[in-house]
Structure 1
Amino acid sequence: MARRVLVVEDEAPIREMLTFVLDQHGYQAVEAEDFDEALQQLTEPYPDLVLLDWMLPGGSGIQLAKKLKKDEFTRQIPIIMLTARGEEEDKIRGLEVGADDYVTKPFSPRELMARIKAVIRRVNPTGLDEQVEIQGLRLDPVSHRVTCGDDALEMGPTEFKLLHFFMTHPERVYSREQLLDQVWGTNIYVEDRTVDVHIRRLRKAIETNGHDKMIQTVRGAGYRFSARI
């Protein structure tokens, strides 16, 4: 399944160019020409990345970035700001509200694609395409599905990413701080106890056949994913 990129740009020629370039490189482009349409596009399946123009009808790119980072279901989506603003203060402001990178117009398609690939690698270190299976629990990062036998397991995007990280890094203890960095990302500021909340949700989602016991609490250290129950 191709990675989805939401292109939020009010100028039609630029939006069409971005969509064409993304399609040529195997991405699935979703378009929005203003603030409100961008919000309407932010539903499941969520985009893997947002290309966000600074100036938009109905609101600014800065306002939209802030909104994305406050929402539990969208805060982990990486953002690349697109703008004609090249001043250092503007770049810093964009990064401070949660943007992962900043591309100043005009830019070449080659530069843009390099930035997109770099951001996806950086913010999604567990972004492997291979399916992972441990004791009948299977996770497919491409289709974004988790199954146990023939049963599909439902969970939120954060729980999915947390499970993906655990299953690709088994038998090792991770502190809450390490999990925040690896799963939520370095640009997200949340309380350590947020990890505990999502661990509880994840355990409930995978309790079929006792898989919840594979997420083990290591007192005073953090959490470990282990098939040794």
Structure 2
Amino acid sequence: MSAVSAPNPASPSRGLVLVVEDETAIADLVALYLRRDGFGVHVESDGEAALAAVRKLKPVAVVLDIGLSGMDGIEVCRTMRGAGDWTPVLFVTARDDEVDRLLGLELGADDYVTKPFSPRELAARVRTVLRRTAGPAPSEVLSVGGVRMDVTQRRAWAGEVEVALTPTEFDLLAQLLRQPGRVFERAQLLSSVWGYAVEAGTRTVDVHIAQLRAKLGAESPIRTVRGVGYAADAR
């Protein structure tokens, strides 16, 4: 294995990432790779301290272990979203079978990795999430049926009601609305929105689609094409 180069303190920071992990060796390795990519890193090992750090430090993203002692990662994310904090959250989970349950709780997680994971891949996932929120093309407004999106302002409405979407939900909906009627395969959505294509991860698309439908209610233009994927159609 090649040695990981030390972070360059003179390199411009991409912002501060909060890493919440109670296994010191894992936290240190994740922090090393994130710093090498130009991020500032702050590490906490428990949920209460993580919430305090979110409020004080205003990180650009949170890498959040689910299996924390005391207040676990699920409760940390739920508390953040309940307070109107939509900072991108990337869950770290110990088991594959947790994923559907976690993402199905409408907690607003943007992505997840399963232990054991590659710290290089995790850093890439953080970059991908932040790229999606870095700034869209100017004056892009999308509308299909009763759903409207101002991509520039990253705001969405179902009818006359503004809907709070996570960065991932927003980008998934925008991908569908940009080409009304086109049927996107799950793997296509996973690649274009999440930035990677792994067949086992396509259920993540299904969970986020379910969350979008719940938030958009009767105005949702999303249609399931059985055995293929999803499309956005005007009613």
TM-score (norm 1): 0.55
SS in 2 for 1:59: coil
8 Å CA contact 1:177, 1:192 repeated in 2 = no
**CA 1:67–1:185 in 2, change beyond 3 Å: closer, same or farther?**
farther
Counterpart Cα distance in 2 of 1:173 and 1:185:
10
Q: Rg bigger for which structure?
A: 1
Indicate the residue corresponding to 1:136 in structure 2: none
Q: Which amino acid aligns with 1:177?
A: R
Give the 5 Å matches for 1:1-229.
1-72=13-84, 74-75=85-86, 77-87=87-97, 90-96=98-104, 97-122=107-132, 124=133, 127-128=134-135, 169-170=138-139, 177-179=148-150, 183=154, 192-193=161-162
Moved over 3 A (4+): 172-177, 179-182
Q: Extract unaligned runs of 5+ from structure 1.
A: 129-164, 196-229
Q: Read off the aligned partner of 1:178 and give its amino acid letter.
A: M
Change (3 A) 1:46 1:185: farther
How many pairs does the alignment contain?
A: 146
Amino acid at match of 1:179: D
Alpha-carbon spacing, 1:193–1:104, altered in 2? closer, same or farther (3 Å)? closer
Secondary structure in 2 matching 1:118: helix
Q: Scaled by the length of structure 2, what TM-score is found?
A: 0.54
Query: Contact 1:8/1:52 (CA < 8 Å) preserved in 2?
Result: yes
Identity of aligned residues (%): 35
Amino acid at match of 1:192: V
The letter of the residue matching 2:34 is L
What is the RMSD computed on CA atoms of the aligned residues? 3.0
Q: Is the 8 A contact 2:17 2:42 kept in 1?
A: yes
1:181 CA drift (Å): 9.8
CA deviations on 1:111-145 (whole Å, 9 max, x unpaired) are 112211222223x1xx15xxxxxxxxxxxxxxxxx
